[in-house]
Structure 1
Amino acid sequence: MKSPCVDICRFDGRTGWCVACGRTQVECRGWRKAARPTLLGIQAELPRRLAKLAARGIVASEPAPDPISEDPDTISEDMA
């Protein structure tokens, strides 16, 4: 099952949830090895967790853009 990770990975100190995907560090580390029913249970909780974080004013920001891929002037001709 595809991970809900969005490459921001900042954890709220109060809940332990990632402010971007809603998982705990333990859930993140064990995602690839967890059984499908476990993953489905975690995924079902994520919207509620993220809503609780948002209600406290905690939301994820976008990851920093990759300067090479975002600036077309820095891409060489052979890469374009």
Structure 2
Amino acid sequence: MQTPCIHVCSIEPATGFCAGCGRTLQEIGNWVSYSDIERRRVMAVLPARLVGAAALSHDMKTGHASGPERPL
């Protein structure tokens, strides 16, 4: 069974995603019961989740918000 787990298991509070693989706790817990199609669907979104989570983490550390600036 294919898995995205890289054994860096830590749920990021800001996103609810695992810092290592990008899955939610629900996805991790249900992984073995998912069909191959369901696992592929989750794995398809993980790269974007990890990029978004990394950007959010960086923004939180620097105090800057990403995305378009809002007028005051």
Aligned length: 58
Greater helix share, structure number: 2
Runs of 5+ consecutive residues of structure 1 not aligned to the other structure? 59-80
Per-residue CA deviations over 1:31-60 (Å, capped at 9, x if unaligned) read 1110111111100010000000111236xx
Runs of 5+ consecutive residues of structure 2 not aligned to the other structure? 59-72
The percent of aligned pairs where both chains have the same amino acid is 34
Runs (4 or more) in structure 1 with deviation over 3 Å come to none
**Counterpart in 2 of 1:53?**
53
The one-letter amino acid paired with 1:25 is L
**Counterpart in 2 of 1:32?**
32
Q: What is the Cα deviation at residue 15 of structure 1?
A: 1.7
Q: Report the structure number with the largest CA radius of gyration.
A: 1
Q: Which has the higher contact order (CA 8 A, sep 6+)?
A: 1
